[in-house]
Structures are given as structure tokens and as C-alpha cells.
């Protein structure tokens, strides 16, 4: 698959939402080690709100991401709500005027989203946050786009980078959020935000690989 139109993009994020909601218990278990154990509930709440937007007709890709971000902001609350709103705000800015998303556009989306998160949340790599999964995945997406890879190839590589980034948070001392008060005691726990961000990349990758396989099967049948 080289690009996605509005219909395919909506299908992608519907799949992402379902997958993120399905991992509510896992995210809560991770968060219980450093926070108050409700990260999964918050993530589920946000993606259920996103599902409502995805079921409604949208004029443009820009509007789609603006509306998803706003819905997540209003439904999630806490610190993570504004972060996901910033992420989707970045997506919207990156696709302004576009009708389709190829790997280059997707890389721009995540790069702009990451920039909005970094500035808006005052966060950077190495602080044991979701940014430790997001930033390396963005770098891989940008490189994959330069190399002319397909959407599925690019997100498969980004998925691996995000998962490695999330795993790396185990050895980090938290410097942001409530977990920073634990100081050295925060070492040895995977950050729930990084884990859920990695899960987002995993679900995007799974969807794209599945769609590519379906397309290949249809071509073989014809």
C-alpha cells in the first residue's frame, strides 16, 4: 500500500482505537507501578471518544484529526488528554490541503505531532515518558520515507523503534509527571505512557500489513 484516502484512514484509526481499548487492563497494570493505575482507563476513554468522531462524516483529513484531538482532549482529562490533543493537532496541521496520506505525509504527521507534544508538554527523550517511544519512531519514519519504502514497511520499522524506546524506559529515572517524585524508585518499571504509544505504532503497523496482504490476495485471485 502506497497511500490512504479518507475512507482508508478512518478504517485505520477505527482499528487503532479498538486495539488501544482492548489493552486497558495491561496499561493500568503498568501504571500501577509508577502512578495511580488508571492510564488504561484514560486511554480507553479517549479512544472511545475518537470512535464517535470516526463514525461521523468528515469534510477533510485536517478536520478529521482536529475533531479526534478535541474529542480526546475533552474526554481523557489529566495530563495525557492534552498530550494526545497536541499529537492530533500536529497531524491535522501536517495534512492540511491533502486528500491522501503516503509514507512521507505520515512521517510529517508524526513529526509535527511529536514537535507539538515536545513544546506543549515541555518533554524530551530520556525523561521516562511516552516521548521515549514517539521520538525514535518518528526518526525511523522519516528515514523510511526518504528511502521510498511503503507505508507498511515504514511503520513496521517505526513499530520496532517505538517498542525499543518503551523498553528503554525501564532503566530510566522518571523526570516528568507524578513518577518523578519516586526518583530512583522509578527505575525498573516500564513507563505506561511509552508503552501505550508503542502500542499505537504496533496497531498501525498491524493494520497496514493486514491490508497489504488482503490486496495481494485479491490480485492473485484476479
The tens digit of pLDDT for each residue in 59-85 reads 999 999 999 999 999 999 777 889 999
CA–CA distance, 189 with 181 (Å, rounded to integer): 14
SS3 77: coil
Residue 222: inside a domain, yes or no? no
Q: Quick one: pLDDT band at residue 173, thresholds 50, 70, 90?
A: confident
Residue 201: inside a domain, yes or no? yes
Q: Tens digits of per-residue pLDDT, 79-119?
A: 788 999 999 999 999 999 999 999 999 999 999 999 999 99
Residue 65: inside a domain, yes or no? yes
CA–CA distance, 158 with 205 (Å, rounded to integer): 8
Domain ranges, residue 57: 3-214
Q: Would you say residue 192 has pLDDT above 70?
A: yes
**CATH code at position 191:** 1.25.40.340
CA–CA distance, 182 with 35 (Å, rounded to integer): 10
Q: Would you say residue 222 has pLDDT above 60?
A: no
Residue 135: inside a domain, yes or no? yes
What crossing angle do the helices spanning 192-221 and 39-54 adopt, rounded to 10°?
40
Note the pLDDT of residue 75.
94
Q: How many domains does the chain have?
A: 1
Residue 220: inside a domain, yes or no? no
Q: Would you say residue 166 has pLDDT above 70?
A: yes
Q: Which residue has the higher pLDDT, 216 or 22?
A: 22
C-alpha cell belonging to residue 217: 490476495
Task: State the chain's mean pLDDT as an integer.
Answer: 92
Residue 219: inside a domain, yes or no? no
Residue 82: inside a domain, yes or no? yes
Residue 88: inside a domain, yes or no? yes
Note the pLDDT of residue 77.
74
Beta strands in 77-161 (DSSP E): 101-102
First to last CA, the chain: 18
- State mean pLDDT over 179-188: 69
pTM for the model stands at: 0.93
Q: Quick one: pLDDT band at residue 158, thresholds 50, 70, 90?
A: very high
Amino acid at each position: 500500500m502506497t497511500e490512504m484516502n479518507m475512507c482508508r484512514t478512518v478504517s485505520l484509526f477505527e482499528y487503532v482505537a479498538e486495539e488501544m481499548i482492548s489493552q486497558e487492563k495491561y496499561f493500568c497494570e503498568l501504571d500501577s507501578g509508577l502512578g495511580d493505575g488508571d492510564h488504561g482507563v484514560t486511554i480507553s476513554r479517549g479512544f472511545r471518544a475518537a470512535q464517535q468522531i470516526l463514525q461521523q462524516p468528515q469534510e477533510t483529513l485536517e478536520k478529521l484529526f482536529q475533531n479526534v484531538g478535541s474529542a480526546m482532549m475533552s474526554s481523557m482529562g489529566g495530563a495525557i488528554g492534552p498530550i494526545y490533543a497536541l499529537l492530533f493537532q500536529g497531524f491535522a496541521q501536517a495534512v492540511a490541503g491533502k486528500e491522501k496520506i503516503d509514507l512521507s505525509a505520515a512521517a510529517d504527521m508524526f513529526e509535527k505531532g511529536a514537535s507539538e507534544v515536545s513544546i506543549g508538554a515541555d518533554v524530551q527523550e530520556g525523561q521516562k515518558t511516552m516521548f521515549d517511544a514517539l521520538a525514535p519512531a518518528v526518526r525511523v519514519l522519516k528515514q523510511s520515507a526518504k528511502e521510498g519504502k511503503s507505508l507498511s514497511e515504514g511503520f513496521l520499522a517505526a513499530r520496532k523503534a517505538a517498542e525499543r524506546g518503551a523498553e528503554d524506559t525501564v532503566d530510566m529515572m522518571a523526570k516528568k509527571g507524578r513518577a518523578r517524585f519516586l526518583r530512583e524508585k522509578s527505575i525498573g518499571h516500564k513507563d505506561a505512557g511509552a508503552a501505550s504509544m508503542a502500542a499505537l505504532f504496533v496497531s498501525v503497523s498491524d493494520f497496514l500489513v493486514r491490508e497489504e496482504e488482503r490486496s495481494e490476495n485479491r490480485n492473485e485471485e484476479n
